[in-house]
Structure formats: C-alpha cells, structure tokens
C-alpha cells in the first residue's frame, strides 16, 4: 500500500512520505482476582505528507481504503505555508529490539494469569486489589519518495497495580510497561513498591506549615519534569515563557542533573531505530550537569528554523508531526533513600502529584499532593492529606539538594528520587 500511495503521490507532488501503523491491543481489568471486563481494539492508520509547489500538506485516514488521500494532502499543501522540507534518504538502521513474540502472543488467559500472579502478592483482608493489563502488538512502516522503506514490529505489556485499603481509603498504585512479559522480579518489585506506599501511609500526619525541603519520588519527579522536557523541544521561535536556552555554558538547572535520551535501549517501549519522519535515531545528551546541550527537532520544524532533524519525529495517524523523546534517563546520584530522608529533616515526601498535565511552559505550578508523607527526624511519620505543593519547576530543579542512587521506570523515564531544598507547601 505504501508503494502504491508513494507512486501516485510522486506523480502529482515533488516529494511525499507515508507512515502506516497497525496496533492490536488486548485490555483486561481484574478486580480481586476476577476478570471484570475484556476488550480488544485493533487500529490501522495511514498518514500521508506531500510537498507540492514548495508547500507541505498532510492527510490521514483510519480506513484501509486510501482513495482520495493524495488529493486531500494536495489540498492541504495548497492551503499551507511555503516550507523547504527535505525528506531523508535511506541509511543503515541500528539493531533495536522492541518486539517480543511471547508478549505479542499473550491471550486472555495468559494475560489474566499474569494479573493474578501480581494480585496474589498484595492480596490481604481489608484491601481492594485492581490490576489493569494491556498487551499491544503492532507495527510501524515508513516510506518516502527518496527511497526510505523501513519499519519495525513492536510489542508492549503494560501493568497497573492499584490497592485501596478500605479502612482509611488510601490508594497505592504503580505502573510498569515493557516490551517483553514482566518476570517475577518485576512483579515482586511492583508489589513491594505498593506495600511501601501503604506502610508509609499507615497513620496520618500534619503537613509542614512553612516552606522547606521536599523529597520527590520518581513519579513526582516525572510529573514536574514536563515543562523541562517541553522546553527541550524546538517548535520554532523560542517560547517567551521558557527560561531554557540551548547551549548555555552556565547551568540553568542544578549541576547534579544530567539527562540523556536513549532510543536504542533493548526491550524498552520508548525505543526505536527510526523516527516517524524516517530519520535514523541516536542517543543524545540533553542536559549535562544542569546545562542544556541538545534539543529535539522534528523534520518540519527543522525545515522552518533551518536546523537538522534530531531523530525525534513523532506522528500519530491524525496528529501533527512533532518532536518527542524516547527513553529519558536522569543520571543517578550517590544518596540512599535513608540519606535523602535524613537530609529532609522536617519536611515532606511526595509520592504523586495530581494534575501535572496542567503545568504551563513557565514552570509555575500549584498542585494537590495525591499521595505524600510527613518526614521528621529522617523518618516517614505518616500520610499527609490535603497538601498543596507550589513553586516553579525550573527553580525547584535548580535547588536540588540530593539525587538518589536507585532509579525507577516511570513510563519511559528512568528517574531517581530528588531532594529539593525549598518548596512551598500548604496544608489544610
């Protein structure tokens, strides 16, 4: 189908590329060991981009019938802006494994069994255990009129464990995703993390009343990282809201922070050898000792601002092409969790923040703490309810007082806990 579309587009336009993605997802929910709902979603999407008379246009469809797609893309180009878009040519791809046959073949029974094995690790009287499982098997193929014809198969197994302690309503939750089927070690770690959350929330405690040190666990770090990552994506002119400038010698964030983007990690869902623009990927240092070293640029933005694409192109079937990251790795420090807790003194430990999607590009935030604990004398004293964390992400990441040595995956980010020396906390 790609060859046919490209042939037709080439006859009418100067250049074209096509991305075809398929996905077959099986979704199960288990409540206290029983499968309560089961669903399967199969998708097929084709997006076509053309350059015609120096202008770029796009069209997409979720149908297998691509009749009219080229004409719609040409109409889009006619309405579009002049853009010197140069599509990439073919190049050798690195071997990046993002497909596991056993994971892709997981059926209802095997997926439910995985969920039950996980649930059995945390099942106790007085708890409601929910496991949400998704198995995805799909493929991406990219072709263009310069000869790129590449693609890959991909599989993902995602597991979310949620435990509600009925006596006090505390919700502990954790999510993992991998290319292959999670083994017992992964399930043990997931269960242990949820147990730790429940244990720390065994009693209640008052929120600190004055600004002070805050220890952010990896899920909270991921939430606050969003505006930093946003600032590392070139969209055209620099946003007046963003304090980050690429290539500064002076650190903007704390010198203990080093962030890499690695699309070549084996068996990680974020990995890929080729991006959705047809550009070969490579690992890149984004922030080194607090200073920005590289930013992400997709092909169209690169053409607009005269910069080379960085292999970060992302395209969903209907979405606009943009730049996005693969696997983000924040370098670990030396501190153990006990070291970090001792350094907090009297303060707050934040497990999860609510509403992180609303943090704007300026980095200012004012967010409810979905799960957090009071720390006193280097020990967790109990769960804090109703606390609100406020400040600015860039200020917070410039005031890092310690970096943990143990990292956890949160989505496609591998993150340590971070101690922030001073943040504003408001309680009830």
Partner 1 sequence: MLDRLLEALQQSRADFAEIRYERAWITTVTWRERRLEVATEAVDAGGTVRCLDQGRGWGVASVADGDDLAARLSVAHELSLATRPEVPAALAPVPVRDGHDAPDLGGDVRAVPLHEKRRLVEALNGEMLAFDRRIVDTRLAYRDVVAEHWYANSEGTRMHGVRPDVQLAALAVARDGGTVERALASFGARAGWLAAQGHEERFRSAARQAVSLLGAQPVRSGTYPVLLDPRLAAALAHEAVGHLCEADAAAEPGGRLAPLGARMGSPLVTIGDDGSVPGLRGTRPFDDEGTPTGNTLLLQNGVTVGHLHTRETAARDRARPTGSARAPSWRHAPLARLSNVYVANGSGSRADLLRDVRLGVYACDVIDSRRDGDRITFTAGHAYMIRDGELAELVKHVVIAGRVSDLLGAVDRVAGDFRWHDGGGGCTRRGQGPVAVADGAPHVRLERAEIRGVAP
Binding site for partner 1 (CB under 8 A): 31-32, 34-44, 57-65, 72, 75-76, 78-81, 108-109, 112, 128, 130, 162-164, 169, 171, 173, 236-237, 239-241, 304, 317-318, 320, 354-355, 358, 360, 362, 364, 366-368, 370, 386, 388, 390, 392, 426, 428
Least separation, in Å, of the C-beta of 170 and partner 1? 9
Least CB distance to partner 1 at residue 123 (A): 14
Nearer to partner 1, 80 or 313 (CB): 80
Measured from the CB of residue 54, what is the shortest distance to partner 1 in angstroms?
14
Q: What are phi and psi of 399, to 5 degrees?
A: -115, 40
Angle between helix 108-122 and helix 184-200 axes, rounded to 10 deg: 40
Distance of CA 129 to the CA centre of its chain: 25
Q: How near is the Cβ of 281 to partner 1 at its closest, in Å?
A: 24
Give the shortest CB-26-to-partner 1 separation in angstroms.
Answer: 9
Closer residue to partner 1 (CB): 38 or 338? 38
Closer by beta carbon to partner 1, 362 or else 376: 362
- Which among 137, 139, 141, 160 is positioned nearest to 150, based on CA atoms? 141
C-alpha to C-alpha distance for 120 and 129, rounded to whole angstroms: 9
Q: Is 229 helix (H, G, I), strand (E, B) or coil?
A: helix
- Residue 147 or 358: the one with the smaller Cβ distance to partner 1 is 358
In the complex, the smallest distance separating the C-beta of residue 93 from partner 1, rounded to whole angstroms, is: 29
CB nearer to partner 1: give 9 or 96.
9
- Cβ distance to partner 1 smaller for residue 82 or 345: 82
Nearest to 298 by CA among 282, 314, 287, 274: 314
Tokens of 64: 């297998």
Burial 297-318 (b: 16+ CB within 10 A, else e): bbbbbbbbeeeebbbbbbbeee
What is the rounded (10 degree) CA torsion for 413, 418, 422, 423?
Answer: 40
The token duo for 215 is 């220890």
10/171 with CB nearer partner 1: 171
Overall residue count recorded for the chain in this entry: 428
Q: How far is the CB of 221 from partner 1 (least distance, A)?
A: 18
């Amino acid at each position: 189908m790609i060859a046919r579309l490209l042939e037709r587009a080439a006859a009418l336009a100067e250049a074209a590329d096509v991305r075809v993605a398929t996905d077959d997802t099986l979704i199960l929910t288990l409540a206290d060991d029983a499968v309560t709902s089961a669903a399967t979603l199969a998708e097929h999407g084709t997006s076509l981009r053309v350059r015609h008379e120096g202008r770029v246009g796009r069209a997409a469809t979720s149908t297998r019938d691509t009749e009219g797609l080229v004409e719609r893309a040409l109409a889009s180009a006619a309405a579009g802006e002049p853009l010197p878009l140069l599509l990439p040519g073919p190049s050798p791809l690195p071997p990046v494994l993002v497909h596991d046959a056993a994971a892709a073949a997981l059926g209802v029974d095997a997926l439910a069994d995985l969920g039950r094995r996980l649930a059995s690790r945390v099942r106790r009287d007085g708890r409601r255990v929910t496991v949400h499982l998704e198995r995805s098997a799909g493929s991406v193929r990219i072709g263009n009129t310069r000869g790129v014809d590449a693609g890959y198969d991909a599989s993902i197994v995602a597991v979310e464990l949620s435990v509600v302690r009925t006596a006090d309503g505390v919700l502990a939750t954790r999510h993992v995703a991998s290319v292959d089927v999670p083994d017992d070690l992964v399930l043990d770690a997931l269960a242990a993390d949820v147990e730790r959350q429940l244990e720390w929330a065994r009693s209640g405690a008052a929120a600190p009343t004055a600004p002070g040190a805050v220890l952010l666990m990896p899920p909270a770090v991921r939430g606050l990282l969003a505006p930093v990552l946003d600032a590392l994506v070139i969209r055209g002119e620099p946003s007046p809201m963003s304090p980050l400038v690429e290539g500064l010698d002076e650190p903007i964030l704390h010198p203990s922070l080093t962030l890499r983007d690695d699309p070549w990690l084996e068996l990680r869902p974020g990995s890929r050898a080729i991006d959705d623009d047809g550009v070969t990927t490579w690992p890149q240092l984004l922030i080194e000792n607090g200073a920005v070293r590289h930013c992400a640029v997709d092909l169209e933005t690169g053409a607009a601002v005269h910069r080379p694409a960085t292999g970060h192109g992302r395209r969903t079937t209907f979405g606009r092409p943009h730049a996005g990251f693969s696997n983000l790795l924040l370098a670990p420090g030396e501190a153990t969790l006990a070291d970090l807790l001792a350094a907090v003194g009297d303060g707050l430990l934040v497990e999860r923040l609510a509403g992180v999607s609303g943090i704007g590009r300026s980095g200012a935030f004012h967010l409810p703490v979905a799960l957090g604990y009071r720390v006193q004398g280097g020990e967790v004293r109990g769960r804090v309810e109703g606390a609100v964390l406020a400040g600015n992400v860039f200020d917070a990441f410039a005031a890092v007082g310690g970096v943990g040595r143990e990292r956890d995956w949160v989505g496609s980010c591998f993150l340590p806990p971070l101690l922030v020396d001073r943040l504003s906390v408001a309680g009830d």
